[in-house]
Chains A and B, each alone.
Chain A
Amino acid sequence: MYRSIQKNIFEQAWEKIIQFDWFFFSLICILVCIGLLTIHTVDNSNSNYLFKHFVRISISITLFLFVAFINIKFWYRFAYVFYIGIVGLLIFVEFFGFSALGAKRWINLYFFNIQPSELMKIGVILALARYYQYIKLEEIDNFSKLIIPVFIIFIPFFLVSSQPDLGTGLFILIVCLGMLWLAGLSLKIFITGFFSLLILMPFSIAFLKPYQKERILTFLNPENDLLGSGYHIVQSKIAIGSGGFWGKGFKQGTQSNLEFLPEKHTDFIFTVFSEQFGFFGSVLLILLFFAIILKILNISLKSQNNFSRLVCFGVGFNIFVYLAVNLGMVTGLLPVVGVPLPIISYGGTAMLTTMFALGLVMSAKIHKDHNL
C-alpha cells in the first residue's frame, strides 16, 4: 500500500514525460525554427548571428525543459525569494551594472550579459500569483489586501524606470495590471486607477527624458523626421508593405538586404520576415503565436490550483504584450519602444526569460494534478 503511493523516481519521471505537452512544445519549436530561419536571412559573415542565436536557443530550451520538470510547488514556495532576489539584482545593477546608450541595464556575468529588468517580468508574475493564491474572493477588494501588491508592483517599476528604462517599466506595470485583473480585483478599482492616471499624465510628462518625448512625437508624425527616429518606422512600413501578399521570397528582401531596416535582427525581425513572406506568412506567424497563447489558456484552465492558473495566465499575457507592442511598433501602430518579438528575435535575456516563462507553463501542465 505504502509502496504503491510512494512512487520511485523512475515512475515519477515517466509520469512527467507522459504529462509533457508535445503539441505545446512543438509549437514553440516551430517558432524557434522560424526565428532561426529569419536570423539566417539577415546574417552575414561578420556578424555570425545565426551561430550565436543557435547557442542561445540551445541554452534556453535546456532551461525550458529544466523548469518544466521542476514541480510547480517549488516555484510556489520560492516565488517571493525569487522576486526579492531579482529586486536585489536591480539594486545591484544601479551600482555595479554597466551602462549602454545612457541606461544602466546590464550585469556582466562574463559569459553572458544579464538584464535583471527582463527577469523581473517573471518575478512579478510569480510574486502576485503567490500572493493571490489564498486571498479570498470576498476580501480581494479590501484596502489592506491591496497594500502588498502595490509594493510588489511599484518597487520594480521605479527601479527599472530610473535606470532609465521607462519602456520595460511600463511593460512590467501592464503585466501586473493584467495579473490583478485576472486575480479578480473589481472593475471599480481599475476605473478609479485609470482616471487617476489620466489626471497624473500631464505631470508625468515633465519627468520624461528628452529622447522619450522625442519618441512619442516621432510616433505621432513619423514622416516629419525621415532621417531621424522616424526613419525606423518609415523604413519598416516600406519593407512590410512592399512584401505584398506572397512576399518577395526567401532571402529576397531588398529592404533588409540593403540595410535600410534598422535593428533588423532584434526588434524589427518581424519586418524582415514579413518582407520575405508577405501577408500570408505574417498572418500565419501571428496565428502561431495565438495558438501558443490559446494553448496556455487551455493549460491554465485545466490547472487545479489558482497559483498555476494565475502564473499561466500571467505568462500568456506577458507574451501577448510582447507580441502586441512589437507588432504595433513595426507596423507603425505604436511608438518605437525597444521590445523584441518573443522567441523569434535575436537577444539573450529576452529569449531566456520567455523560455523560462513557457517552462513554468509546461511545469503547470505536467504537475496539474499535484497539490501545492
Chain B
Amino acid sequence: MEILYTLIILLPLLGSAIIGLLGLLSKPFSRQEGLIGAIGTLSVAIPFVAVVLAFLNFDGEAIAIPLFTWMKAGQLTISFHYSLDQLSLLMMLVVTGVGSLIHIYSIGYMKNDPGFYKYFAYLNLFIFAMTNLVMGSNMVVMFLGWEGVGLCSYLLIGFWYKDMLKANAAQKAFVANRIGDFAMLVAMFMIYRDLSVEGAEVTFSYKEILAHNFGENTSWIAFLVFVAATGKSAQIPLFVWLPDAMAGPTPVSALIHAATMVTAGIYLIARMHPVFEASPEVLTIVVIVAALTAIVAALTAIAQNDIKKVLAYSTVSQLGFMFMALGAGAYTVAIFHVVTHAFFKACLFLGSGSVIHAMEHMHTVEDPQDIRTMGGLRKYMPATGTTFWISTLAISGIIPLSGFFSKDEILASLYFHGAGFDTYKIIWAVALFTAVLTAFYMTRLTILTFEGEERFPKEQKTPHESPATMTIPLWILAGLAAVGGFMGLPHFTHLNWLGHEWLDKIIENNHHIHEHAEEAGLGLEIGLIALSAILAIVGVLYARNFYKKYGLEGDLRIERSLGGLYRAMQGKFYFDEFYQRTLIGPFTWFGQNVMSWLEENVVDGAVKGVSEGVASIGEVFRRLQSGLITNYVLIVSLGALGMLTYLIFG
C-alpha cells in the first residue's frame, strides 16, 4: 500500500514530465493525441484509484507518507512529508476524481489544438501541485502546492497566449494571487518566529502549529491566512481575477477555477481552524467579507451575457457561501459545500464547454460564449442540456439535489450561530436572499441557453452534441451532483455521515450551532429547511416563467425596474474600474513619470557615472603608458624604492 500512496504524489508529476518533455523534444509524439491523453488521464486516474483504496481501508488514523527531508537549517527542518487524514482524503477524492473526469473530457475538447501536449502537461502538473497543497503535512509543502497551483492556473489561463486579452487575464490572476501569497508568507514568518522562540526544532507541520499557542499573534496569523485565502479563493477584495480567468480553456475553468484550486483557501482555513477558532473577530471579518462577496457576485451574475462569466460569478458567489460557513465556525459544512460545489460546478462548466464547442463548430456566431445568440439548444444537445439542467437545479438548492443539503447546512449554521439576534442573523438573511438570486440567475442562464427560441443563425449547420469523451464525464458529474448531498443529511436526522462519521473526527466545529439548534427545537429547524427549499423552488419557477415568457426581453424589463443598480450589476460593480483608478492607474503613473525619471537620472546616472568615472580615471592613467622604456624604468624603480622604504621603516 505504501508504494501506492507514494504514487498518488509522484504519478501526476511523472505524467507531466513525460508529456511535457517528450512533447517538447519530439514533434511526432506531440501529435499523438490519443497517447498523450491516455498518459495524462492515467496519471490522474491511478492516483484516484489509490485514493479510493485508501479511503476504503481508512481506519481513522492519518496515513503518514514521509518521503525525504527537503532542507535542514539550524532549528528549521522541512521535509516532504505527506499525510492522508479525513480532510485530505476527501479533498483528494474530489481533486483526483473530478480531475480524472476533466482529463477525459479534455481529450475531446482540446482535439486538434496545436498545444495539446502542453495542455496535458500543465494539467498534470496542476494535479501534482494540488496534491502537495492538500496532502502536505506541513505548511511549507502546502505552500509549494499553493504556489504551484497558482503557476498552473497562470499557465492555463494564458494557454492561448497569442491573444493579448488572454495573456493579460493570466497576468491579472497571477498578480492578484501574489498579493494573497505575500500575506501567506508573512503568516508563515510569524509562525516561524513564534515557534522558534523556545529553541525547539521547527518542522512547520500542522500538528506543531495547531498545538502551539500564539497568544496575541493568533488573530494576525488567522487574518493573514484569510487574506491569502481571499486571493486564491476569489473573495473581495481579490476576486477580480476569477471572472477574467475564464479566458482559459473551459475544462480548466471547470477543474481549476471552480472545483479544486479556488477551494484551496477553504481547505486551508478548515485545516487551521483552531487558529481561527481562537480569534473570533477574524471569523466575523470572514463572514462579513464572504456575505458581501456572495451577494455582489450573485447580483453581477444576473446581468452577464457570457455563459462562462455567469458561471464564474456564480463560483465567486458560491465560494462566498463556503466562507460564510467558515466564518460561522462550521468548517465541516464548508468542506461539504466544497465537495457538492465541485460536482455541480464542474458539470456546469463542462456543459458550457460543450455548448461553446458546438457553437464554435457552426462558424456562424460571432461570440460562441454569448447566450444571446443561443437558445433552444437542448433539442440539439440532449445530454448536455439535461446534465446542465440537473446541475442548475442542484446549485439552486432544489430538494433533494446535492446543493440543497450543503447550502441549507450553511444557512442553518449562520442562523444558529448565536442564540439571540446578532450579526450572523443579518448575514443569514443576506445568504438566504443570495440563495434566491442564485436560483434566479442560474435558471436564467439555463433557459436562455437551452430553452426558448433559437437565436443563432440556422441557415447552414445546426449545433451537434459533443463526443462521448465529453458527455460521459458530464453524466457522471450530473449524477454526483444529484445524489452527492446525501452524504451530509441535516443534523436532526443524525444521518450526517460526512460530519459525524468523517470530518468531525479531526475538525472541531463550533459546538454552539448544534446546541442552539436543539434549544430552538426541531420545528424551527425544519421550518428553516422548508423556507430555503420553498424559496429555491420559487426562485427557479419565477425565473423560468419570466424568461420563458419574455426571453431576452426579460433582461430589458429587469433593467427598467432596477435602473442604476442594473447598470452597476452589468458593470460588475466597477471593481475593475475602481482598482484601475485607485491602484493600477496611480501605480502606472508613478512608473511612467517618477520611476522613469529615477531610471534616467538615478539608475542610468549611476551606471553612466561609473563608466564615465572609469573613463576619466583611465584618461589620467593613460598618460602613464607613454611607451617610453625610460619612463617605465622610472616608475618601476620608484615602486621598488617605495617597497624598500616600507620594508625598512614600515
- Say whether A associates with B: no
Residues on A lying within 8 angstroms of B by beta carbon are none
